[in-house]
Amino acid sequence: METFFGLEVVCGRPQTKLQIPKDSVLHVTQIAIPSGASGISTLKVATGGKTFVIATLDTKRSVYHSNVDMLFTALQDVAFVVEGSASVHLTGYVEPMPDSLLDMDDDEEEEEEEEEEEGQDDEDVEA
């Protein structure tokens, strides 16, 4: 079942971290400046140790919103930050993780377990 998602990323505050439910996917579809805001705001996402610009909204150029198609899972460490003069609203929805992504998660867990077992075998040989 899909559920609504909304988040305000406040300008000038530290990164806003996401808490995505396990076995779910967050689908961000819209980025907007609240009514009455003015100036330029740049939304950035931080994930995997890197930061990327998602959108720059500029009321002077009548750019009040941006349609996006971004997916995030609980497996990712994701945070948003806004630079500029106005907060930014993100909206979208949370849905159950598709089976194809769940299968990838299971594969990653199996690989980690195999690596741990190999590491233990190496320790046994050294002793």
pLDDT band at 98 (very low <50, low <70, confident <90, very high): confident
Contacts of 74 (CB under 8 A, 6+ apart): 20, 21, 22, 23, 24
pLDDT band at 10 (very low <50, low <70, confident <90, very high): very high
> Which residues share a beta bridge with 47?
50, 78
Mean pLDDT calculated for residue range 104-117 = 62
Cα separation, 2 vs 29, in Å, equals: 13
Phi and psi for 18 in degrees, rounded to 5? -90, 145
Percentage of the chain surpassing pLDDT 70?
A: 78
pLDDT value for 12: 87
Architecture of domain 3-98: Sandwich (2.60)
pLDDT value for 91: 98
DSSP per-residue codes, 9-43? E-TTSPPEE--PPTTEEEEEEEEEPPTT--SEEEE
| pLDDT tens column, 35-70 | 999 999 999 999 999 999 999 999 999 999 999 999
- For the chain, the structural domain boundaries read 3-98
pTM of the model: 0.74
> Which residues share a beta bridge with 30?
67, 91
Contact yes or no for 74/17 (Cβ under 8 A): no
Cα 74 from chain centroid (whole Å): 9
Q: Give the position of tokens 């377990």.
A: 113
